[in-house]
């Protein structure tokens, strides 16, 4: 099939590459010339394990092309996936300007029947807005061309995006029930035919329910994290090990083991903005989503937890203190710094006068870019942070090590060696990577999350 992907970011590039991998002819469009140039020169603009091979293989096979040519992109695909960003607006609702712009472009250039697929995470009712934008363009061109808008939210995780796309737990597709909607359903079945043949389950539903399903999934996952973080903070006070509790409850099949790790808060491009957008949708309908308001509030506080622990140990003024910082990205295997907990910590430490030697396996360049924005009001503070060439090189002279991202490299570090490199044997661990008993035996002062009883 001929498929166009509008927006070649994390989701668009992975979707395009993976749909080419299963045999479709894919045209990826972006308005960002830099991204398209990188891709056309054989590079990958993001860090995502395994993606480079899928892209290279399918480009070489002639099934995957990248361009900024809007007219050509509309002409190419019978199916047009919209995978542009939906960042939070000032009031927390999803900003649909890129989605609507993409829809207008389709309406402006289409000459035959198209199935439009909302792949971006968009609030309930967006398919209607996309349809209206296309219809408006067709009207101003005085042409009558059929189309149908479907919703196919994406559940991939950054860091495991290719695997998640190729082997999805489920595929959710919302379509209209009129004749064109049923035609679109048949087209979408063909798009995902190889997935269905491999036993992957497709959940067919109405468009609004599909749109809502994505928010419900992210809201549930964010709720589990904030729930465990809140319990972890209590665990520290009442003398309970949250890790033992996690295992004790996660073995219950009604609860399940995933997403129960206590830590220094969730970040990334999705949970924070999707929780906010769902709350905003609720407000628009005069409904108060109280649980989600608490989930967000708990997370904001949890991002501050490492800074608070550092202050409790070293005092409010951190002048003259130097900290090694492991992990900048919001999670491992990505260079994504959006809403990363590291930014809250760095902000706190630098403004309190500390110096930082930071290391992340892939996010250093992206960190430099976002920190320049975070410290636009006090650019001189940026001088207090330096970036180490590897994780061990961040340690010499440090008064403590602070871990923010759970990279495997950090989990597997030789903690005795870590201790020997630093000024003081102190570790603040925002991801509970180590066994407290082992660190205690090595004479390391260990501050974890919800494990105070063991440290």
Q: DSSP string covering 59-128, please?
A: HHTT-EEEE--HHHHHHH-SEEEE-----B-TTSSB--HHHHHHHHHHHHH--S-EEEEE-S---TTHHH
Gap between the Cα atoms of 4 and 25, Å rounded: 8
Phi, psi of 28 (to 5 degrees): -100, 125
Gap between the Cα atoms of 260 and 239, Å rounded: 19
User: Among residues 269, 281, 299, 342, which is the contact residue for ligand NAD, using CB under 6 A?
Assistant: 269
By rule CB under 6 A, what string of x and - marks binding of each residue 110-149 to ligand NAD? ----------xx----------------------------
Q: Please state the closest distance from residue 129 (CB atom) to ligand NAD, in A.
A: 14
| Active-site annotation holder among 18, 28, 264, 270 | 270
Q: DSSP string covering 174-185, please?
A: E--SSHHHHHHH
Tokens of 438: 């082992």
| Cβ neighbours around 145 below 10 Å, total | 14
User: Among residues 48, 158, 211, 399, which is the contact residue for ligand NAD, using CB under 6 A?
Assistant: 158
Tokens of 301: 């506080």
Binding span for ligand NAD by CB under 6 A among 81-89, 228-236, 251-259, 374-382:
81-89
User: Among residues 1, 75, 101, 244, which is the contact residue for ligand NAD, using CB under 6 A?
Assistant: 101
Q: Which residues of 45-75 are buried (b: 16+ CB within 10 A; e: fewer)?
A: bbbbeebeebbeebbeeebbbbbeebeebbe
Gap between the Cα atoms of 298 and 449, Å rounded: 14
Binding span for ligand NAD by CB under 6 A among 150-158, 172-180, 290-298, 382-390:
150-158
| Cβ neighbours around 167 below 10 Å, total | 12
Q: Identify which of residues 123 and 430 has a Cβ nearer to ligand NAD in the complex.
A: 123
Q: Please state the closest distance from residue 97 (CB atom) to ligand NAD, in A.
A: 8
Q: Identify which of residues 158 and 236 has a Cβ nearer to ligand NAD in the complex.
A: 158
349 near 322, Cβ under 8 Å?
no
User: Among residues 77, 85, 174, 327, which is the contact residue for ligand NAD, using CB under 6 A?
Assistant: 85
End-to-end CA distance of the chain: 58
User: Among residues 98, 165, 215, 326, which is the contact residue for ligand NAD, using CB under 6 A?
Assistant: 98
Is residue 171 within a helix (H) or strand (E), and if so which, with residue range? strand 171-174
69 binds ligand NAD (CB under 6 A): no
User: Among residues 84, 149, 219, 278, which is the contact residue for ligand NAD, using CB under 6 A?
Assistant: 84
User: Among residues 156, 171, 207, 264, which is the contact residue for ligand NAD, using CB under 6 A?
Assistant: 156
Q: Please state the closest distance from residue 338 (CB atom) to ligand NAD, in A.
A: 8
Q: Please state the closest distance from residue 329 (CB atom) to ligand NAD, in A.
A: 12
User: Among residues 102, 116, 225, 262, which is the contact residue for ligand NAD, using CB under 6 A?
Assistant: 102
Using alpha carbons, select from 124, 301, 293, 286 the residue that is nearest to residue 219.
293
Residues 9-48 touching ligand NAD, rule: CB under 6 A, are 9-12, 29-32, 35
Gap between the Cα atoms of 290 and 125, Å rounded: 22
Residue 18 falls in the annotated catalytic set = no
Q: At what angle do helices 207-238 and 242-250 cross, to 10 degrees?
A: 140
Q: Identify which of residues 130 and 310 has a Cβ nearer to ligand NAD in the complex.
A: 130
Q: Identify which of residues 24 and 119 has a Cβ nearer to ligand NAD in the complex.
A: 119
Phi, psi of 32 (to 5 degrees): -90, 100
Using alpha carbons, select from 162, 121, 169 the residue that is nearest to residue 14.
162
Q: Please state the closest distance from residue 130 (CB atom) to ligand NAD, in A.
A: 12
Q: Identify which of residues 27 and 314 has a Cβ nearer to ligand NAD in the complex.
A: 27
Q: Please state the closest distance from residue 410 (CB atom) to ligand NAD, in A.
A: 22
Is residue 138 within a helix (H) or strand (E), and if so which, with residue range? helix 126-140
Q: Identify which of residues 214 and 447 has a Cβ nearer to ligand NAD in the complex.
A: 214
Q: Please state the closest distance from residue 12 (CB atom) to ligand NAD, in A.
A: 6
In sequence order, what are the residues at sequence separation of 6 or more whose Cβ sits closer than 8 angstroms to the Cβ of residue 34? 45
Q: Please state the closest distance from residue 438 (CB atom) to ligand NAD, in A.
A: 34
Site of interaction with ligand NAD (CB under 6 A): 6-12, 29-32, 35, 83-86, 98, 101-102, 120-121, 154, 156, 158, 269-270
Q: Catalytic amino acids?
A: 270
């Amino acid at each position: 099939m001929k498929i166009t992907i509008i927006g070649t970011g994390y989701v668009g590039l992975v979707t395009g590459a993976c749909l080419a991998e299963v045999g479709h002819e894919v045209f990826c469009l972006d308005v960002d010339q830099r991204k398209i140039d990188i891709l056309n020169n054989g590079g990958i603009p993001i860090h995502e394990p395994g993606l480079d091979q899928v892209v290279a293989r399918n480009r070489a096979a002639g099934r995957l092309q990248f361009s900024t040519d809007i007219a050509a992109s509309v002409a190419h695909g019978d199916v047009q996936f919209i995978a542009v960003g939906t960042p939070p607006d000032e009031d927390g609702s999803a900003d649909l300007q890129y989605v609507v712009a993409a829809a207008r472009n389709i309406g402006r250039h289409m000459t035959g029947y198209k199935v439009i697929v909302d792949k971006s995470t968009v609030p309930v009712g967006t398919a209607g807005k996309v349809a209206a934008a296309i219809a408006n363009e067709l009207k101003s061109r005085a042409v009558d061309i059929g189309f149908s808008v479907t919703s196919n939210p994406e559940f991939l995780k950054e860091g495991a995006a290719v695997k998640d796309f190729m082997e999805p737990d489920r595929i959710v597709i919302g379509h209209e029930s009129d004749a064109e909607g049923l035609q679109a359903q048949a087209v979408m079945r063909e798009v995902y035919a190889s997935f269905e043949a491999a036993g992957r389950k497709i959940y067919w539903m109405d468009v609004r329910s599909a749109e809502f399903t994505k928010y419900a999934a992210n809201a549930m996952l964010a709720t589990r994290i904030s729930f465990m973080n809140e319990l972890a903070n209590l665990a520290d006070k009442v003398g309970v090990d949250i890790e033992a509790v996690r295992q004790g409850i996660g073995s219950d099949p009604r609860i399940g083991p995933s997403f129960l790790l206590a830590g220094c808060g969730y970040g990334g491009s999705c949970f924070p903005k999707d929780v906010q957008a769902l709350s905003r949708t609720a407000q628009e309908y005069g409904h108060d989503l109280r649980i989600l308001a608490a989930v967000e509030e708990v997370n904001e506080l949890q991002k501050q937890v490492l800074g608070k622990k550092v202050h409790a140990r070293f005092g409010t003024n951190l002048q003259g203190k130097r900290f090694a910082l492991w992990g900048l990205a919001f999670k491992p295997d990505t260079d994504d710094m959006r809403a990363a907990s590291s930014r809250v910590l760095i902000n706190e430490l630098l403004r309190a006068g500390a110096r930082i030697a930071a290391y992340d396996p892939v996010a250093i360049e992206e960190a430099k870019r976002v920190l320049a924005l975070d410290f636009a009001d006090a650019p001189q503070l940026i001088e207090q942070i330096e970036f180490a060439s590897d994780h061990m090189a961040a340690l010499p002279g440090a008064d403590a090590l602070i871990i923010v991202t759970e990279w495997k490299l950090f989990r597997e570090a030789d903690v005795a060696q870590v201790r020997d490199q630093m000024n003081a044997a102190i570790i603040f661990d925002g991801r509970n990577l180590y066994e407290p008993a082992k660190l205690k035996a090595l004479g390391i002062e260990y501050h974890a999350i919800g494990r105070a009883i063991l440290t």
